[in-house]
Structure 1
Amino acid sequence: MQTDTETKYCQTCGIPLDIDYNNLGTNISMEYCDYCLKHGVKGYDFSMDYLIYLWGLFPEEYYKEVGISYTSSEIRDIMSRRLPEIKRWKQKINTAHVLYELVVRIQEYINRHLFDELSLDTLSQTAGISKYHFRRVFKTVCGENIGLYIQRLRLEYIAFKLISTDISVTELLYQINYQNKHTLSRAFKSYFNCTIPEFRKLHLNACSEGKHPVQIVPRIEKVLPIRIACLKLEWTEHISHDFSVLWKQILHLSESCDLQSNNCQYISLTLDCPLISSEKQSRFMVGITVPASFCVPNGFFTYETEAGEYAVFPFKGLYHELNRVYRYIYLDWLPSSGYTLREPFTFETYLNTPKKTPVSELRTDIYIPIVRKNK
C-alpha cells in the first residue's frame, strides 16, 4: 500500500491522525480518532461550533496528542477553518445551508404577515415541505417551536410599539387587528411579568435623556438592494462564542477572496428589536457584501436587503455602546421624526474593523428601514 503523504484529520474533532499506512490493521479507523470512535460507536455528538469552543478551552489536549502548542485563540482559528472542510461537518454545513435559507424565507413571510392567520398548513406550504418536516426543521434551526415563535414575535412587536410610540392600547389593537384585549393582557403579563401600563412606564423611565445622552442626526437615503454572503446565528447557549466563530469565518472568506479590495463591507442584520428581545432569543445574520457575480461558497448563503428608504445613523465608538444608540433611535428620534418603521430588518455596516483601528475610532452605520407617516 502506498503511503498517503497528505495530513489526515479525524472526521469529527479535526485532530491529525497518526496512521502508519504500511502497517494498517483491520481495527484501525482511517477516518476517526480513538476518542471520537470507540468500537464503531461515536463518543459524543457536539455541534461544530461547540467543538471549536472546547478546543479553545483545552489547547493543551491538542499539544498532548500532536506535539504542537497553540494558544486558545490560535487553535480556535485553526479549527474554524479546518472543521468545515472535513467529512462530517461539510455534509452538515451543506444541509444547514439549505435549511437556513428555507427558515429565513419563512421568517420573512411571518414578519410580513405577523398578525394574519399563520396556520401550520400555510407555513409548510410556503416552505414547500410537509407539516411534520417543517415543524422539525424550524425547531432545529430556531430552537423554539413555530407556535411559540409567532406568539413571541407578536408580543415583542406590541411591546416595541408601546415604548416607541404614544399610541393607546385600544388603537394599537385596532391597527394590528388583535381581537381580544383581555387575551392580550394575560399573554403580555405572562411573557413580560408585568402589565402593559407597567411595562410602558418602566421602559420610558429607564430610557430618559439624562441616562442616555446620545444625539445623532441621521441622513435619509434611498438604498438599493444589497447582496450579502452571510451566516446566521439563532438560539444558542454560547452566544458570545458562536458570534465570534461566525465572524472569523466571514473574515476568512473576505481575506481568501480579497473582497475588501472590491469595496465590500462587513455587515450584520438584526432580526429582532434589541430593546425587547432577550439576548438568548435574539437572531442575527453576519456577513459581507458581495457583487452579483460572486459565487458564494458552501456553508454560506446569500441574502438581499430590501430596497427603500432608510434612516442612516453614523456612529463612532465602541461596539458595546451601540445599544445606547438604538435606545436613542427608537425612543427619542423615531417618535418625533415623522417616520414609522418598515418591515425589513435593521442592519449595520462596519466602515473599519478592530483589527486595524483603535476601538474608540470604530465607525458603524446603522440602517433603519422607514416610511413617512400618513398625515
Structure 2
Amino acid sequence: MEINTETKYCQTCGIPLDIDYTNLRADHNEEYCDYCLKNGVKLYDFSMDYLIYLWGLFPEEYYKEVGIKHTSSELREIMSKRLPEIKRWKQKINTAHIQYELVIRVQEYINCHLFDDLDSEKLSQVAGMSKYHFRRLFKAVCGDSLGDYIRRLRLEYIAFKLISTDVSVPELLCQINYQNKHTLSRAFKRYFNCSIPEFRKRHSTACPEGINPIRVELSIEKVPDIRIACLKLERTHNVSYSFSLLWKQLLQFSESYELLQKGCKYLSLTLDYPFITAEEQSRFMVGVTLPQSFETPKGFGIYEIPAGEYAIFRFKGLYHELNRVYRYIYLDWLSASDYTLREPFTFETYINTPNKTPASELITNIYIPVMKKDV
C-alpha cells in the first residue's frame, strides 16, 4: 500500500499532520506531532509492531485528533500499511534488516559451536565489526547480553537432552564438554528453579495412562530439501500479536502470487525447544514454500530446510493443543521408539487454514528430524 502523498504523517506514530491542532502552533514541527516531539526531544522509542499494537488499544484517541472513526482492527490494519511507508520507519527497517542479518549469522555460528570456547572477540569477527559495537548490537536485537544468551542456549540444550534421552549426567558432560557436574548443577538450578533429578521427574511423561491421550497419525519419511520464503519473529513486547502480523503479511504475499494454487504450502519453524524455551525468548519463522526459480520477495529471507529422515505427526485439532502434542512426541514417543533426534529444530506445515476451516478441523503436520538409534 502506498500512503497518501498529499498528506504528511508524523514520522513516529503515523498520525496525519494536516489537522488543526498541529497547525495552530507557530513552532510546530513539520515531521512530528506534538505527542511525539516536544522541545526538540523525541518522547517515545517504541518498536513499530508495538506502536501498531498500541493504536489498536486507543482508536478513540485517533478519532479525537483526526475525526475519523475506526475499529481497533481497522486502525491496526491502516497503521501496519502506513508506517512502513513513512521515511523514518523505512530507514529504520533497512538498518534493522542489515543488523538483524549480522546477528542471525552469529546466532547460526553459535548454534553450530554451542559448547566451543565462545567469546565476544571471536563472535565479533564473525559479525565483521568491533567488539564494542557487536555487544551493543547483539543485546539490542536479542534482548540478552551475549553471555546470557549463550548460557541460556546451553542450559536449554542440556535440559532438552535430559528429558528426550536417557543419557546420564556424566555421559552428557562428556558429550558437551561442560566444565563439571557441580558447575552444571548450580547453573541448572539457578535457571530452572529445580535440580536436574527434579526436572527429569517433572517431565517424565506427557500423558499419564488414561488421561486425555494425544491422537496423531505417524509416518517416517525421507523429505527432500525445502526452500521457503520466510519472515522471522524478533523479540517483541507481544509475541502473539507480532506472530499474527507476520502471518498476515505472509498470507497477503502468498495470495498475491497465488502460491497455494501452485502447490506451495505454509509452514513455521521453531529454532528453540518446545515447552522448555520461554515464549518471549523463542525464535520463530513463518514461511511458504516457493516454486522453482521464484525470486526472493522483498522483505523476506530465504531458508533451506535440509533433506533427511523425518517423523511426521499429523494432528487434527486446535492450534493451542499443539504444545501437548510436542510433549507427547518428546516425552513419550521418542524414548519408546527406535529413533533419536538428528537435531532439535522442528517445523510444521498446515494442510488447511483458520480463515476457511473450523478450529477443531485444522490439520497440522509436525516434522521431527530423526535417525535410527544405534543398536
- Output the TM-score relative to the length of structure 1: 0.90
- Amino acid corresponding to residue 53 of structure 1 in structure 2: Y
Is the 1:59–1:72 contact (alpha carbons within 8 Å) kept by the matching residues of 2? yes
User: Which residue of the partner structure matches residue 89 of structure 1?
Assistant: 89
Change (3 A) 1:344 1:203: closer
Equivalent residue runs for 1:5-84 within 5 Å: 6-18=6-18, 27-84=27-84
User: Which residue of the partner structure matches residue 348 of structure 2?
Assistant: 348
Is the 2:35–2:43 contact (alpha carbons within 8 Å) kept by the matching residues of 1? yes
1:318 Cα offset (Å): 0.6
User: Which residue of the partner structure matches residue 301 of structure 1?
Assistant: 301
User: Which residue of the partner structure matches residue 147 of structure 1?
Assistant: 147
User: Which residue of the partner structure matches residue 192 of structure 2?
Assistant: 192
Q: Deviations over 1:48-70 (max 9, x none)?
A: 11100110000112222222211
Aligned partners of 1:212, 1:99: CA distance in 2, in Å?
A: 46
Is the 2:205–2:328 contact (alpha carbons within 8 Å) kept by the matching residues of 1? no
1:194 Cα offset (Å): 1.2
Percentage of matched positions with identical amino acids:
73
Is the 1:81–1:249 contact (alpha carbons within 8 Å) kept by the matching residues of 2? no
Change (3 A) 1:338 1:46: same
Aligned partners of 2:32, 2:337: CA distance in 1, in Å?
A: 60
1:297 Cα offset (Å): 4.2
User: Which residue of the partner structure matches residue 100 of structure 1?
Assistant: 100
SS of residue paired to 2:184: helix
Change (3 A) 1:209 1:275: farther
SS of residue paired to 2:109: helix
1:112 Cα offset (Å): 1.9
User: Which residue of the partner structure matches residue 118 of structure 1?
Assistant: 118
Is the 2:230–2:301 contact (alpha carbons within 8 Å) kept by the matching residues of 1? yes
Moved more, 61-70 or 253-262: 253-262
Change (3 A) 1:133 1:344: farther
SS of residue paired to 2:132: helix
User: Which residue of the partner structure matches residue 273 of structure 1?
Assistant: 273
SS of residue paired to 2:204: helix
Is the 2:207–2:214 contact (alpha carbons within 8 Å) kept by the matching residues of 1? no
Q: Deviations over 1:193-233 (max 9, x none)?
A: 11111111122156534445114242222223322222222
Equivalent residue runs for 1:153-168 within 5 Å: 153-168=153-168
- Amino acid corresponding to residue 218 of structure 2 in structure 1: P
CA RMSD of aligned residues (A): 2.4
Aligned partners of 1:95, 1:294: CA distance in 2, in Å?
A: 26
SS of residue paired to 1:218: strand
User: Which residue of the partner structure matches residue 203 of structure 2?
Assistant: 203
Is the 2:103–2:138 contact (alpha carbons within 8 Å) kept by the matching residues of 1? yes
- Amino acid corresponding to residue 70 of structure 1 in structure 2: H
Is the 2:311–2:369 contact (alpha carbons within 8 Å) kept by the matching residues of 1? yes
User: Which residue of the partner structure matches residue 288 of structure 1?
Assistant: 288
Which structure carries more relative contact order (alpha carbon 8 Å, separation 6+)? 1
Moved more, 106-115 or 187-196: 106-115
Aligned partners of 2:125, 2:319: CA distance in 1, in Å?
A: 40
Aligned partners of 2:50, 2:223: CA distance in 1, in Å?
A: 37
Structure 2 segments unaligned to the other structure (5+ residues): none
Aligned partners of 1:97, 1:297: CA distance in 2, in Å?
A: 14
- Amino acid corresponding to residue 142 of structure 1 in structure 2: C
Equivalent residue runs for 1:120-135 within 5 Å: 120-135=120-135
Is the 2:316–2:362 contact (alpha carbons within 8 Å) kept by the matching residues of 1? yes
Is the 1:101–1:301 contact (alpha carbons within 8 Å) kept by the matching residues of 2? no
- Amino acid corresponding to residue 360 of structure 1 in structure 2: S
Change (3 A) 1:28 1:294: farther
Aligned partners of 2:160, 2:314: CA distance in 1, in Å?
A: 23
- Amino acid corresponding to residue 79 of structure 1 in structure 2: M
SS of residue paired to 2:370: strand
Change (3 A) 1:33 1:253: farther
User: Which residue of the partner structure matches residue 248 of structure 2?
Assistant: 248
Change (3 A) 1:107 1:92: same
Aligned partners of 1:232, 1:5: CA distance in 2, in Å?
A: 30
User: Which residue of the partner structure matches residue 232 of structure 2?
Assistant: 232
Change (3 A) 1:164 1:208: farther
Structure 1 segments unaligned to the other structure (5+ residues): none
Q: Deviations over 1:338-375 (max 9, x none)?
A: 22212362111122211111111111111111222222
Is the 2:205–2:332 contact (alpha carbons within 8 Å) kept by the matching residues of 1? no
Q: Deviations over 1:226-285 (max 9, x none)?
A: 222222223333222222222222223223343333333222111111121122222211
Matched residues, number: 370
Aligned partners of 1:299, 1:14: CA distance in 2, in Å?
A: 21
User: Which residue of the partner structure matches residue 361 of structure 2?
Assistant: 361
Change (3 A) 1:5 1:179: closer
Is the 2:206–2:324 contact (alpha carbons within 8 Å) kept by the matching residues of 1? no
SS of residue paired to 2:203: helix
Q: Deviations over 1:89-125 (max 9, x none)?
A: 1111112222222222322222222122222222222
